Structure 1
Amino acid sequence: MEKHEVLSEHLSDLSGNLISRRVVLAGIGGTFLAGSVLPLFSAKALAAANPRGANAGVTTWSANRLDIFGIGTDDAMYHKSWASAHWSPSIPGWEGLGGAFINPPSAVSWGTNRLDIFGIGTDDAMYHKAWTGSRWAPSPTDWENLGGLFNSPPCAVSWGSNRLDIFGLGTDNAMYHKAWTGSRWAPSPTGWEGLGGVFNSNPSAVAWGPNRLDIFGLGTDNAMYHKAWTGSAWYPSGGGWENLGGVFNSNPCAVAWSPNRLDIFGLGTDNAMYHKAWTGSAWYPSISGWERLGGVFNSDPCVVAWGPNRLDIFGLGTDNAMYHKAWTGSAWYPSISGWEGLGGVFNSPPRAVAWGPNRLDIFGLGTDNAMYHKAWTGSAWYPSISGWESLGGVFNLF
C-alpha cells in the first residue's frame, strides 16, 4: 500500500447557508397498495461547492431485511422496508411517519425487529422515534423531543442491545453526545454532554465492540480529528481531540470490521479518495499520513463492511455515475487506484448497508430524484452491473 503525504492545501470554510427547491413528481410507475403514500421528497442543499452529502438513512436488523428513511416535501419523515420477498408498503410507495425536519435522518438498529430514527426538527432540536417490534413509539406520527440546538444532522450508533449513542454539532460547532443506557437518556431526556472541538463537517461515529465508541470530524483546518470512548473515559480527554492530519473536502466516513479495527475515508482537496486504518496498535500508514486510493469524486464516500477484513467503498464520479472499490482481505479491487463502474446517473451520494456476508445493498437518487437500488447478491450485481431498480418517490439533496 502506498503512503500518502499529508495534503497541505487548505479549504475555505463551508457555507452554512441552505437552499431548498421542490421537484415535480415524474417518471414513477407501479401499483399502489391501500394506505401507501407516494411522497415528493424535499431537502436543503449546501450552497457551498463542496462534494455532496447524504440525504437518507438506511439500516438493517437481520438477514433479508432493509429499512430506508427520507424527508418529504412537507418536511415529514418517510419509510420503506424490504422484508424477505417484497418492498413495503409497495415498490413506489412510502410510509409517512410525521414530524418536520431540516436535516437528513440517522437510523440504527440494536436488535432484531428494533429501529431507532433521529432527526433535527425545525426548532433545531433532536427528535427520536422507535419501532419497538409491534408499533411506532411514541406513535406512528409523533416524535420524542430530546432537546439541544444543532447545526448538523444526527449521527447514531449502537454498541449493544438496548444501547444508543447519538452525536451532533451544536450551534457553536462543538460536538455533543447523548446516550440511551437501557433505562434512561443520559445526561437527561433533554440534556447533552459537551465533547469540545470546533468542526467543519458532520460527525461520523462507529462502535467496534461493547462499551467502545470512535468519533471523527473535520476541524477548522479541515484536518481529521478523532475521539474515543474507551469504556471508562474519553480519549484523549473529555474536551480534547486527536489530530490525524490530512486536509479534506468531504465529510468523513468510518467503519469497523472487527474489534480494535477502524477504517476512515474522505476526499482530499484533489477529490481523490484517501484512507487511514487503526490496526489495533497503530495508525496506518502513520498518525498523520493517508493512503491514496485514486478516483475523482463528486460526493461524500460511503463505506460498509460485511465481514472481517472486507471493505466496500462507494462514491459518485465526475460523471455522477456510481463507482466501487473493495478491500478483499489482501488487496484493493480492481486496483489500489482503480474503481469499478456501476452505472447510473445520480443526484445524491450513495447509502450502503450489508445484512450478511457477501451481501450489499446500495441506494441513491437518480436524475428524476427517485430512489434507486442495486444489490450484490453474492455472485452478481442485481439488476445488472450497470442497472438500477427504481423504488419511487421524488427526493432532493440536503
Structure 2
Amino acid sequence: MYYTHTLTLMTSLISAAEASFSAVSWGDARIDLFGLAPDSSIWHKFYTGWDWQPASCFEKLPSSDVGALSASSWGEGRLDIVFVNATGGNVLHKYYGGGNWGPSWETAADLGGHVTSVASGSWGENRLDIVAKSGDSFVHKAWTGTEWFPSGTDWENFGGDFSSDPVVTSWGPGRLDIIGISSDGGSIMHKFWHEGWSKWGDLGGGPFIKTPKATSWGPGRLDFWAIDEEGKLNHLYWDGSQYQGWETLGGSFSHVPQVVHWNATKIDIVGKEESTYRLKSFDGSEWHPSKDGWYDLASDFGSEPSVVARRKTNFLSVFGVGEDGTLRTQIWTGYDWQPAADSTWSLGDLSDPYSEDKGEHRGYGDEWSEEL
C-alpha cells in the first residue's frame, strides 16, 4: 500500500510553521520522509523496519532551489519524488528502484512545465500520474510504464479555475481522481479517469478554503475532505453508487487534516489546532470520540502533521515538526500511544539537518524496534 502527500511552495528560510514534508510507505515495515531544508535542498530519512537512517541527521538528496514536492510509491522498493524548480517552475523527477536512484544519484529528469505546485500518485505498478497547477488551471502528465504521456516535457491542460493546489487519489488500477477548490464559489471540483477522462463536475459544498484532501479505502470508495471558513472539517463520500454528505465533523483547523485508512471502513484523521495535534477515527459504524469531537495528542508543533498507516494492523505513525525545529513522531501500536498520547520522540534537528554532531539521538527505532 502506498501513501502520498503534497507539499506547498515554500521559501528558503524555513520556520517550523513552514516545514511541510512528505511521508510515504512502500510496505508494512518501510517509511520514507522527504522535506525541504533551509538551503532549499531535499532532506530524506527512512525507517528500515528496525531503525531510522541516517541515525542522527538527514540524508541530502542532490537538489537545489526546490519549491514544491510530492512523494509517492507504486509498490515494494519503489519511490518517486516529483518537485518544482522554484525559479523556473519546471517539474523535476527523481526515483528509487532496483536498489538505485535514477536517472542517477546526482541528477533528476526535467519534465518541463511552468507550475507552482505539484501532486503525484499511482494506481498500480509502473504507473505514475502527476498533476500540477499552472496559473489557475491544472495540467497533467503520466508515466505509462514505457514512456511519458503526452511526452517527456509536454503536459495535458485540464483547464479549470482553481484557488487550491491539485489533489490526486486512486481506488485501484485504471482509476484516478483529481479534485481542487473552484475560485468561483469555493466548491469542490472533481475530474476522474475511467477508460477516459470525465468532464469537471461540481460536488458542491463550501465555500471551502485551503487545499482539500482525497482518499480511498478500496475499489468503489472515495472520500473528500475540506475545511470551511470557520475551520470545521467537512466530509463527502462516494459509496460505490452515489454521493453521501456533506457532513460536518467539527474542529477549528487552518489546514485540512491528514486522513489515512488502515483497512476498508476504517478512517483515522490527524489535524493541528494551534500547536496541538487532534485525532478522530471511524470504526466502520460511528465516529470516535463523537461526530464533532476530537481527541488531544501531543502539543508544541509548528507544522501540519503527516501520517502513515500500516495496512490491516491499526498501526499509525504520526510525524510533525516541533516549534523548536525538531522532527518528532509518536505511534499508535494498535492498543496504546508510544511514547505517550501527549509526548513524542525526536528524529533530528531540521534547522541544521545535515550536521552529524547532534549528540545522542533517541527515537522509536532505538527503543521499540522489536515491537515494530
Q: Same fold (TM over 0.5)?
A: yes
**CA separation in 2, counterparts of 1:200 and 1:101?**
24
State the Cα distance separating 1:72 from its structure 2 match: 1.3
Query: Residues of 1 paired with 2:12 and 2:128: CA distance?
Result: 33
Q: Which of 256, 281, 306 matches 2:241? A: 281
**In structure 2, what is the equivalent of residue 253 of structure 1?**
213
* Equivalent in the alignment of 2:286: 331
What does residue 313 of structure 1 align with?
Answer: 269
In structure 1, the residue corresponding to 2:251 is in which secondary structure? coil
CA distance in structure 2 between the partners assigned to 1:19 and 1:149 by the alignment: 16
Alpha carbons 1:364, 1:372 under 8 Å: kept:
yes
Distance (Å, rounded) in 2 between the aligned partners of 1:19 and 1:99 = 15
User: In structure 2, the residue corresponding to 1:147 is in which secondary structure?
Assistant: coil
Other structure's SS at 2:210 match: coil
Gaps of at least 5 residues in structure 2 are 1-8, 353-372
The 5 A counterparts of 1:310-389 are 310-318=266-274, 320-357=275-312, 358-389=314-345
Instruction: Please state which structure has a larger fraction of its residues in strand.
Output: 2
Aligned AA for 2:115? F
Q: CA RMSD in A?
A: 1.8
Determine helix, strand or coil for the equivalent of 1:260.
coil
Corresponding residue SS for 1:251 = strand
Q: TM-score, normalised by structure 2?
A: 0.88
- CA shift for structure 1 position 139: 1.9
Q: 1:200 to 1:159 in 2, by over 3 A?
A: same
Measure how far apart 1:266 and its partner are: 1.2
Asked if structure 2 preserves the Cα contact closer than 8 Å seen for 1:55 and 1:104, the reply is no
Map of 2:132 onto structure 1? 168
Letter of the 1:267 counterpart = I
Indicate the structure whose relative CO is greater, using CA pairs within 8 Å and at least 6 residues apart.
1
The change in CA–CA distance for 1:163 and 1:262 in structure 2 (over 3 A counts) is same
Structure 1 residues 260 and 101, CA, compared in 2 at 3 Å: closer, same or farther?
Answer: farther
Counterpart code for 1:85 = W
Match of 2:32 in 1: 67
Query: Paired residue for 2:257, among 294, 301, 305?
Result: 301
> How far has the Cα of 1:351 moved from its partner?
0.9
Q: Please tell me the residue identity of whatever aligns with 2:263.
A: G
The offset of 1:20, in angstroms, is 3.8
Q: Which residue of 2 aligns with 1:38?
A: none
Name the stretch that deviates more: 129-138 or 100-109: 100-109
Kept in 1, the 8 Å contact 2:222–2:239? The answer is yes
Q: What letter corresponds to residue 97 of structure 2 in structure 1?
A: T
Decide whether the 8 Å contact of 2:94 with 2:103 is kept in 1: yes
Matches within 5 A, 1:1-398: 20=11, 22=13, 42=14, 55-90=20-55, 92-122=56-86, 123-152=88-117, 154-170=118-134, 172-220=135-183, 221-230=185-194, 232-235=195-198, 237=199, 240-285=200-245, 290-318=246-274, 320-357=275-312, 358-394=314-350
**Separation in 1 of the partners of 2:192 and 2:143?**
18
Cα separation, partners in 2 of 1:21 and 1:112, compared to 1, 3 Å? closer
Percentage of pairs with the same residue: 37
Question: Deviation at 1:166?
Answer: 0.6
Listed as ranges, the gaps of 5+ residues in structure 1 are: 1-17, 23-41, 46-51
Cα deviations across residues 98-157 of structure 1 (Å, max 9, x unaligned)?
1124434211111111111111013111111011131111222311111000022x1111
Deviation at 1:311, TM superposition (A): 0.6
Letter of the 2:113 partner, please give it.
G
* Paired residue secondary structure (2:319): strand
TM-score normalized with structure 1 length? 0.82
Indicate the SS of the match to 1:225: strand
CA spacing shift, 1:377–1:200, aligned 2, 3 Å: same
Per-residue CA distance 1:278-301 (angstroms, 9 max, x = gap): 11111112xxxx201011113331
Taking the aligned partners of 2:68 and 2:328, their CA distance within structure 1 comes to 17
Work out the CA distance in 2 between the residues paired with 1:54 and 1:182: 33
- Paired position in structure 1 for 2:365: none
CA distance in 2, matches of 1:243, 1:337: 22
* Aligned residue pair count: 341
Cα distance in structure 2, aligned partners of 1:355 and 1:118: 24
